[in-house]
């Protein structure tokens, strides 16, 4: 990967906890859309004022997209500099003082620590796996295997698998399934996350036969 790509990726990983926090909070606030959305009385007032868009809407979108990309790249430069660690610590101290936002941000940070391949400790022992519910042939789920150490339940070996949600794999389910249902999957955690983020458009690696 080129230097520009590495810097941009660093900035993206640094911004991802905040972006995920904003996404989750925005999703919660969308429940109020029926009161403040375009079809509401407030929305109709805004439309009457001419704030609903115009011929330059596409240009405004492209400009905003470019500004976001530039901001992410600039954040990557800051993280690569000596100010990165100090700035990150200061930002986390500030945001963790906000009651509701701090909980969401903490969950987002844990997710980023999983997908950040530079943090070897956070992904140590984790690997993608295929889980065949009911055994082969059966419904196959691409999951994350936190540990290969089985748990004895009812005299049988069970493995814990993490099944992310799509398209934002910040949530999901932790399921203990029979060890015979689980087989290793090709690729790494990056490939697994890309499958979920793309909602299956990116094909997973070939399952063992």
* Model confidence pLDDT, tens digit, residues 90-148: 767 777 777 767 766 666 666 666 555 555 445 555 788 899 998 888 888 888 888 88
In this prediction, residue 120 carries a pLDDT of 47
The whole-number pLDDT of residue 177 equals 92
Domain boundaries, the chain: 3-117, 125-197
DSSP of the chain? --HHHHHHHHHHHHHHHHHHHHHHHHHHHGGGHHHHSTTSHHHHHHHHTT-S--TTHHHHHHHHHHHHHHHHHHHHHHHHSTHHHHHHHHHHHHHTTSHHHHHHHHHHHHHHHHH-TT-HHHHTT-EEEEEEETSSSSEEEEEEES-S--EEETTEEEEEEEEE-SSSTT-EEEEEEEGGGEEE-SS-HHHHHHHHHTTTSSPPPPPP-
Per-residue pLDDT, 83:
64
Note the pLDDT of residue 209: 47
d(CA 115, CA 11): 14
């Amino acid at each position: 990967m080129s230097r520009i790509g590495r810097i941009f990726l660093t900035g993206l990983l640094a911004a991802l906890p905040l972006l995920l926090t904003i996404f989750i909070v925005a999703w919660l606030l969308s429940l109020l859309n029926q009161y403040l959305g375009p079809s509401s009385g407030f929305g109709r007032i805004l439309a009457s004022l001419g704030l609903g868009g115009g011929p330059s809407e596409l240009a405004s979108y492209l400009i905003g997209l470019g500004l976001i990309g530039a901001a992410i790249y600039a954040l990557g430069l800051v993280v690569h500099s000596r100010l990165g660690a100090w700035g990150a610590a200061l930002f986390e101290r500030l945001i963790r003082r906000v009651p509701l936002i701090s909980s969401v941000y903490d969950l987002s940070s844990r997710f980023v620590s999983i997908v950040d391949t530079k943090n070897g400790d956070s992904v140590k022992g984790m690997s993608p796996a295929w889980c065949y519910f009911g055994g082969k042939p059966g419904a196959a789920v691409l999951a994350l295997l936190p540990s290969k150490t089985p748990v004895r339940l009812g005299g049988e070996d069970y493995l814990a698998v993490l099944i992310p949600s799509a398209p934002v794999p910040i949530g999901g389910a932790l399921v203990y399934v029979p060890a015979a249902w689980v087989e290793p999957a090709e690729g790494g955690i990056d490939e697994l996350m890309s499958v979920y983020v793309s909602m299956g458009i990116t094909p997973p690696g070939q399952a063992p036969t």
